[in-house]
Amino acid sequence: MRVLITGVNGFVGKYLAKELQEKGYSVSGIGMGQFDLPGVDYQDVNILDRTALEQAMEELEPDIVFHLAGIASVSHSWRDPKTSFEVNVIGTINLLESLKGREVRAIVYVGSSEIYGPGRRLGEKFSESTSPNPQNPYATSKYAAERISLQLGQMYKLPVIITRPFNHIGVGQTEGFVVPDFARQIIEASKRDESIRVGRLDVYRDFTDVRDIVRAYRLLAEKGQPGETYNICSGVGRKISDILDLMRTEYGNLDVELDESKMRPVENIYSVGDNGKMRAAIGWEPLYPIEDSLSGVLAEWEHKLRD
């Protein structure tokens, strides 16, 4: 079975490639820049280049497609909303049109829980039936891409499955996300007697290890229902201050101070998902405890910042 991953050279793409290889799939991928994961047939393709994309589909002939490519940063989308829309929406249209008329068993579109917007009240989880209320350009672009995926999937008779992953964490995640940002600062502060500079700590997020996330993508490709939407999440709300406390436990009493530059123009206070639909559909549940995920990221940054 041949699978194609767009954005294979990103944080999640590398984990997904390994997950699929371990299950016996033949893995190919497209992305931008260098990539050297053994056993992956890789092509440097910009998803905004329709001609190059169609040529890649012709050569790789995938049976299953996982669409991860895109701009995944909320802060970047505020700085450059136009590019976020071009890559996330037009890139998705290009991909689906390049697959038109092909025999594809599943197309897993990787969306985002950001489309839900702010929680109505603490303790209320987002389900797939919750009305989207995107609050930033990134979230709006992901919702638009999600809708056009379903519409073109129906028009072209392509088996599109929508996913809405919540926050995921793990070794290899780049800075710009809360856990690696905390990890770098904690390691540096512990060595230099500095403060940890943070944004809002009173918000709640739903964290899942990236290894559990990619297993969910694979299972949905194998067992998910085309045309359906699935949350991928732990279902557990954790306050960001609690995440920080878990991470700095072994590093002494490090000072924390608020950094206005880390505050978003609009902040979702409570973003926690209901994963009941996916559990019922594919029998998935998270396997990795958050403490293991966080300790792995801290160990990674200990190594990176070793004197």
Full residue range of the structural domain in which residue 132 is found: 2-168+206-232
Distance from CA of residue 15 to its chain's centroid?
Answer: 11
Distance CA 38, CA 279 (A): 32
Q: Are residues 156 and 60 in the same domain?
A: yes
3-state helix, strand, coil in the chain (%, to 5): 45, 20, 35
Q: Are residues 20 and 148 in the same domain?
A: yes
Domain count, the chain: 2
Q: Are residues 253 and 299 in the same domain?
A: yes
Residue 275 within a domain: no
Res 266: pLDDT: 64
| Distance set, CA 231 to CA 27, 259, 271 (Å) | 25, 32, 12
Q: Are residues 254 and 226 in the same domain?
A: no
Residue 130 within a domain: yes
Q: Are residues 212 and 198 in the same domain?
A: no
Pull the structure tokens for residue 123. 């303790």
Distance CA 11, CA 173 (A): 6
Residue 211 within a domain: yes
Residue linked to tokens 């589909």: 57
Three-state SS for 4? Answer: strand
Q: Are residues 141 and 185 in the same domain?
A: no
Last residue of one domain, picked from the residues 216, 232, 248:
232
Q: Are residues 69 and 12 in the same domain?
A: yes
Q: Are residues 196 and 121 in the same domain?
A: no
Residue 35 within a domain: yes
Res 267: pLDDT: 72
Q: Are residues 131 and 64 in the same domain?
A: yes
Q: Where do the DSSP E strands lie in the chain?
A: 2-6, 26-31, 41-44, 64-67, 106-110, 160-165, 168-169, 196-198, 204-205, 208-209, 229-232, 238-239, 256-258, 270-271
Residue 277 within a domain: no
What is the dihedral sign for C-alpha 74, 76, 79, 84? negative
CATH of the domain at 194: 3.90.25.10
Q: Are residues 78 and 201 in the same domain?
A: no
Res 200: pLDDT: 87
pTM of structure = 0.94
CATH of the domain at 11: 3.40.50.720
Residue 284 within a domain: no
Res 260: pLDDT: 75
Q: Are residues 295 and 178 in the same domain?
A: yes
Residue 276 within a domain: no
Q: Give pLDDT tens digits along the chain (307 positions).
A: 999 999 999 999 999 999 999 999 999 999 999 888 899 999 999 999 999 999 999 999 999 999 999 999 888 999 999 999 999 999 999 999 999 999 999 999 999 999 999 887 888 999 999 999 999 999 999 999 999 999 999 999 999 999 999 999 999 999 889 999 999 999 999 988 888 999 889 999 999 999 999 999 999 999 999 999 999 999 999 999 999 999 998 888 788 888 777 776 667 789 999 999 999 999 999 999 999 999 999 999 999 998 5
Residue 82 within a domain: yes
Q: Are residues 66 and 102 in the same domain?
A: yes
Pull the structure tokens for residue 198. 């943070």
